């Protein structure tokens, strides 16, 4: 089986970018080990602190963030990082050419119940002339040179793209390496599965309410087919299912909190997932526009997300087109 680094070289990925990706997967192997040790490693449970998002940090949130932060800032090819767990960017003492944004442990509420969680990452080139400001990160998702995620489930799997194919690697625990297990991911155009947090239904805008109501009517409704709902409470797990067999995932606008009407962060959740989905043949929008075209205004900016099988995303967007934007 092919190992990770040779496949990157076969794609003509630069050695400096390969080095950054290699640093991420070294951190991922350590995170995977600690997760699979669970209570034996003393990493379950929460801390007494909140992150910049106002969310209570799990112990492993802190551990995963520190591992990625330390290793990436030591890389000669990384100029700065942005993390869900950091208030602002952290600039490396090195003068590398890449910027890395990441969610160190997506779905961390699943840790204590032994559910799947993951790491999401996005890699950008440092703009010419920019040295230390956050503005250097404020690039549209289509500017990403690489993106991916690691899902820590029964197996630890890396799914990534450097702008060409979306490939899947599985961590072989016997040799400690990520080995290629799927050459090219292709998302089916149509689907009968959707993922959404139904507990928020009363807070959604009219287009999402109408769309989901028609899905639930099944073959007796306007869609004329039955749908199954899946929800893992971790974007990584839901997106991994879509890349594996198709489906639709959405976390839309809702009116619970006027200051935070969206859940997912653009730079280190929505944009990297959107790149993967598009490169695998799917679509990713906020309901009204392509996610990869959105230019961030803040490193922690939040957006609505609709992504997955292309024809189903188009159908969901048709419902949005009937109504004015709620935001």
Tell me the three-class secondary structure of 27-73, residue by residue: HHHHHHHHHHHHHHHCCCCEEEEECCCCCEEEHHHHHHHHHHHHHHH
29 with 153, same domain: the answer is yes
- Look up the CATH number of the domain holding residue 267: 3.40.190.80
Binding residues: 84, 103, 105-109, 197, 263, 269
**Residue 282: inside a domain:** yes
Bridge partners, residue 46, by sequence:
58
Give how many domains the chain has, as a whole number: 2
Looking only at Cα atoms, what is the longest distance across the chain? Answer: 62
End of a domain among 182, 204, 236?
Answer: 182
Query: Do 215 and 101 share a structural domain?
Result: no
Residue 129 sits in the same domain as residue 12: yes
> Do 151 and 101 belong to one domain?
yes
Q: Which of 182, 217, 243 is at the close of a domain?
A: 182
In a domain, 208, yes or no: yes
- Domain termination site, one of 152, 182, 212: 182
Name residue, tokens 């119940």: 113
Pairing of strands 264-265, 156-161: unpaired
Residue 187 inside a domain? The answer is: no
**pLDDT grade, residue 42 (50/70/90)?**
low
- Residue 57 confidence class, pLDDT cut points 50, 70, 90: low
pTM: 0.94
List Cβ neighbours of 193 (8 Å cut-off, separation of 6 or more): 227, 228, 229, 230, 241, 245, 246, 247, 248
Query: Which domain covers residue 128, as residue numbers?
Result: 4-182
pLDDT in tens, 236-248: 999 999 999 999 9
Instruction: Answer whether 63's CB lies under 8 Å from 34's CB.
Output: yes
Residue 326 lies in a domain: no
Domain assignment present for residue 327? The answer is no
Annotated binding-site positions for Mg(2+): 84, 103, 105-106, 269
Annotation: binding site for substrate: 106-109, 197, 263
Residue 250 forms part of a structural domain: yes
At 66-79, the pLDDT tens digits run 999 999 999 999 99
Same domain, 217 and 163: no
Residue 56 · residue 50 · CB < 8 Å = yes
Q: Are residues 74 and 93 in the same domain?
A: yes
Q: Encode pLDDT of 222-277 as tens digits.
A: 999 999 999 998 999 999 999 999 999 999 999 998 888 999 999 999 999 999 99
- Looking at the structure, tell me whether residues 135 and 246 fall in a common domain: no
Q: Of 67, 3, 1, 81, which Cα lies nearest the Cα of 29? A: 67
Same domain flag for 21 and 127: yes
């Amino acid at each position: 089986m092919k190992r990770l680094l040779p496949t990157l070289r076969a794609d003509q990925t630069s050695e400096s970018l390969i080095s950054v990706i290699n640093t991420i997967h070294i951190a991922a192997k350590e995170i995977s080990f600690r997760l699979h040790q669970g209570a034996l490693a003393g990493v379950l449970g929460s801390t007494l602190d909140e992150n910049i998002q106002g969310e209570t940090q799990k112990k492993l949130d802190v551990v995963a963030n520190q591992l990625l932060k330390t290793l990436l800032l030591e890389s000669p090819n990384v100029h700065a990082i942005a993390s869900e767990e950091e208030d602002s960017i952290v600039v490396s003492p090195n003068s590398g050419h890449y910027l890395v944004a990441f969610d160190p442990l997506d779905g961390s509420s699943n840790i204590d119940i032994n559910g799947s969680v993951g790491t999401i990452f996005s890699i950008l080139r440092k703009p010419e002339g920019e040295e230390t400001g956050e503005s250097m990160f404020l690039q549209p998702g289509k500017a990403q040179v690489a993106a991916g995620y690691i899902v820590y489930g029964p197996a630890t799997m890396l799914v990534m793209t450097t702008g060409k194919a979306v490939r899947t690697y599985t961590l072989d625990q016997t040799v400690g390496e990520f080995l290629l297990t799927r050459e090219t991911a292709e998302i089916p155009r149509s689907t009968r599965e959707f993922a959404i947090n139904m507990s928020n239904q009363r807070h959604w805008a009219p287009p999402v309410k109408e769309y989901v109501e028609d899905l639930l009517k099944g073959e007796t409704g306007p869609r004329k087919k039955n749908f199954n709902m899946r929800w893992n409470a971790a974007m990584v797990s839901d997106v991994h299912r879509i890349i594996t067999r198709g489906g639709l995932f959405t976390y839309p606008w809702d009116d619970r909190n006027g200051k935070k009407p969206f859940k997912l962060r653009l730079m280190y959740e929505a944009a990297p997932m959107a790149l993967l989905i598009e490169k695998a043949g799917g679509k990713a929008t906020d309901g009204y526009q392509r996610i990869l075209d959105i230019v961030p205004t803040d490193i922690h900016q939040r957006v609505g997300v609709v992504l997955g099988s292309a024809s189903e995303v188009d159908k969901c967007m048709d419902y949005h087109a009937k109504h004015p934007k709620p935001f």
